[in-house]
Amino acid sequence: MSLSRLIGGFVRSHWRAYAAAGAMLVLVAVIGVWIPRKIGGMIDALAAHRMTRDQLLWDIGLLLLVGVANYVLRVAWRVRLYSAAYRLGVELRTRFYRRLTLQGPAFYQKQRTGDLMALATNDIDAIEQAAGEAMLAGFDGALSLVMVVGIMILGVDWRLALFALLPFPLMAYAFWRISSQIHTAAADALQRFSALNEHVQETLSGVRTLRTLGLEQRSGATFGQLAGKASDAALTAQRWEAAYEPAVGLTLTAATGLTLGLGGYLVWTNQLTIGALTSFSMYLGQLIWPMFAAGWVLSLIERGRAALARLQPMLDAPLTIADRGTIASLAPGELAVEHLTVAYPGQAEPALHDVSLRLQPGQTLGLVGPTGAGKSTLLRVLLRQLVPQSGAVRWGGHALDDYTLAALRGAISWVPQESFLFSATIADNIALARPDATRAQVEHAADLAAIHDDILLFPHRYETEVGERGITLSGGQRQRVAIARALLSDNDLLLLDDALSAVDTGTETRILDHLEELRRARPVRSAIIASHRLSAVVNADLIVVLRQGRITERGTHDELLARDGWYASQWRYQQLEASLDAV
């Protein structure tokens, strides 16, 4: 979509605001051309001694009153137009944000967070200015130009007007050349700012790592280089914008010289009055704003075009996970994985190969295996974050993609490997999926996750701010807060993706015991626990061993120990390791 179509569609949907601003602008333009004509008539009347004292005072008072009205109208129509333009910025940011929330992980593997943040701020600001300031200057300048030139030709002297307008085609050619350069420079400036934004975002996210490795100076040097490039690109765009003013100044200087030359001759030969020449000179001065407005409009439009060229691909990017489901509610039922094969883009070997398993309502499935075996991949398929190449997953007798994404994800509670907490209070983080939960419910969920006692030790208890990404909490505390959040959701399927790795074995046992109590209290609630620590899946109804994306063993804890395979050897090793740690 082009910038003109985008703004045109927005203007049509908000035509009342633009119509009101346009009506006030017409009044402003009428006042603008009336004042010089009125002053010219007053000068001729004074020169001919045809104006009385009372008439002069009346005319001066009228000019002052019209000037005040002109001021009020200019403020009113700008406020009206800007309020509409800001709504475009809100609409674009809302549309962009919704698109980002619908995209799957594959989209974010190709995009940089800093670049997306720059699009949501700088780029949309540029488009908003094109719909606001550019429209304002364009309307005002175009209408002023038409009315002023019209009154110069029809109301003063057409010969003088045509003679004074001779330099203007040269200015139009200069504007065309300058605007093409601004488009290129503005696009480069936006891209440079995006790179700078990305570096700042990465640096702040990994500031502790940088300090630990002593990389502050190197990071600062990189920041300086990126900031310098961004500054140079912005300065290049500003230099080209500055070229508008000399073009306008030279044009108006030439027009003034031509006006004085021909106008003086016409006055000398009594073909034009001094008052008319004065009015014409004032009208010529009024052309300064339309000319500057033209340059400003072209600059803003080129910046907006460059910004839209960066934003549009993000808005049009196809969803990596299509939401074509029609079933809006999910009833608990059997979870069946049938001959599932999943491969990541660019990888020759599949992450999962011909995986099949079944989980009845109320059962717990344990997923174990070495790093990279495919445990997290299977959970991501259940969450519909990945699309399998072959096979199917059915829940309650329906394929996963038959459900809407909202229905599917609303029935699953997920605790990922890296627990993410928002910069809010502990209570707000636990109640994220259930903001209407009572404090008693929040505390009960925290107690089930074995974090309640830790929270009571904080000065502000549940009102403690956790900081960005939960930086004020330890890794184990963050995991347990995330588990409490999942338990409070009380959904039909609980997914724990190595979510107990940062807690000690005693705390792990308490949490698992609480999960078992919840399962007995709600028999239809199922759980899948992916873990490197085998003690986390001892009580699971079914344990599946994944190795290199394939199921190599399956059974209960006792059955797998009896087979003396990978699971049994890993169990003995972990038990020995635990006994040594206890010494």
> For position 421, which CATH number holds?
3.40.50.300
pLDDT band at 50 (very low <50, low <70, confident <90, very high): confident
Is the pLDDT at 389 greater than 80? The verdict is: yes
Band (77; pLDDT cuts 50, 70, 90): low
Give the pLDDT confidence score for residue 490 in this predicted structure.
76
DSSP 261-273: HHHHHHHHTTSS-
Residues 424 and 297 in one domain: no
CB neighbours of residue 432 within 10 Å:
18
* Residue 582 confidence (pLDDT): 53
Residue 71, pLDDT above cutoff 60? yes
In a domain, 376, yes or no: no
The verdict on 295 and 422 lying in the same domain is no
Whether 39 and 179 map to the same domain: the answer is yes
Residue 208's pLDDT band (cuts 50, 70, 90): low
Which is it for strands 390-395 and 398-399: parallel, antiparallel or unpaired?
antiparallel
Domain boundary among 316, 346, 375: 316
pLDDT higher than threshold 60 for residue 583: no
Q: Does residue 546 carry a pLDDT above 80?
A: yes
**DSSP string computed for 412-433:** EEEE-SS----SSBHHHHHTSS
pLDDT at 286: 66
Q: Are residues 270 and 153 in the same domain?
A: yes
pLDDT value of position 363 = 86
- Indicate the number of domains in the chain: 2
Q: Does residue 292 share a domain with residue 420?
A: no
Task: Report the C-alpha gap between 15 and 338 in whole angstroms.
Answer: 55
In the prediction, which pLDDT does 257 show? 72
Residue 338 lies in a domain: no
Confidence category of residue 422, pLDDT binned at 50, 70, 90: confident
Domain-terminating residue out of 284, 316, 348:
316
Q: Are 441 and 410 in contact (CB under 8 A)?
A: no
Phi-psi region of 490 (alpha: psi -120 to 50; beta: other; left: phi over 0): left
Residue matched to tokens 């890993």: 570
Mean pLDDT of 397-411: 85
Is the residue at 388 inside a domain?
no
The residue-averaged pLDDT of 314-321 equals: 81
Which residue, 490, 525, 550, sits at the end of a domain?
A: 490
Same domain, 309 and 456: no
Tokens 């703004």 correspond to what residue? 7
Q: Distances in Å between the alpha carbon of 326 and those of 30, 99, 403, 404, 412?
A: 58, 20, 6, 6, 18
- CA 297 to CA 130: how far, in whole Å? 8
Query: How far is residue 406's CA from residue 75's CA, in Å, rounded to a whole number?
Result: 46
Buried b (16+ CB within 10 A) or exposed e, 160-178: bbeebbebbeebeebbeeb
User: Distance (Å, rounded) from C-alpha 307 to C-alpha 2?
Assistant: 11
* Assigned domain for 431 exists: yes
239-261: pLDDT as tens digits: 777 776 677 767 777 776 776 66
Mean pLDDT across 507-515: 81
Q: Give the angle subtended at the CA of 532 by the CAs of 372 and 374, to the nearest 5°.
A: 25
Find the CATH number of the domain harbouring 9.
1.20.1560.10
Helices 475-489, 505-521: axis angle to 10 degrees equals 0
Is residue 275 a part of any domain in this protein? Answer: yes
Provide the pLDDT confidence category of residue 1 given band limits of 50, 70 and 90.
low
**What pLDDT sits at residue 226?**
79
| Residue 374 within any structural domain of the chain | no
| Distance set, CA 54 to CA 41, 43, 144, 264, 468 (Å) | 16, 15, 32, 32, 72
Do 301 and 446 lie in one domain? The reply is no
What's the angle, vertex CA 312, arms to CA 310 and CA 313, rounded to 5? 80
Question: What span, in angstroms and rounded, lies between the C-alpha atoms of 139 and 17?
Answer: 14
DSSP string, 19-77: HHHHHHHHHHHHHHHHHHHHHHHHHHHHHTT---HHHHHHHHHHHHHHHHHHHHHHHHH
Confirm whether 134 is domain-assigned: yes
CB burial of residue 547 (10 Å; 0-12, 13-18, 19+): middle
Residues 306 and 424 in one domain: no
Whole-number Å distance between alpha carbons of 437 and 489? 10
In the predicted structure, residue 561 carries a pLDDT above the cut 70: yes
Which structural domain range is residue 425 located in?
415-490
Mean pLDDT, the chain, whole residue set: 78
| pLDDT single digits (tens) 454-510 | 888 888 888 888 877 667 777 778 888 888 888 888 788 888 888 877 777 778 788
**And the tokens for 470?**
């939960």
Residue 525 phi/psi, 5-degree rounding, is -85, 125
What is the pLDDT at residue 384? 86
Are 297 and 419 found together in one domain?
Answer: no
Same domain, 151 and 13: yes
Tell whether 204 is covered by a domain. Answer: yes
Q: Which residue has the tokens 């000179």?
A: 281
The number of C-alpha atoms within 13 Å of 310 and in the hemisphere containing its C-beta is: 30
Structural contact between residues 253 and 261, judged by C-beta atoms closer than 8 angstroms: no
- 40 pLDDT band, cuts 50/70/90, is low
Please tell me the predicted confidence (pLDDT) of residue 277: 67
Q: What is the mean pLDDT of residues 135-155?
A: 70
Is the Cβ–Cβ distance between 187 and 306 less than 8 Å?
A: yes
* pLDDT surpassing 80 at residue 42: no
Question: Are 309 and 426 in the same domain?
Answer: no
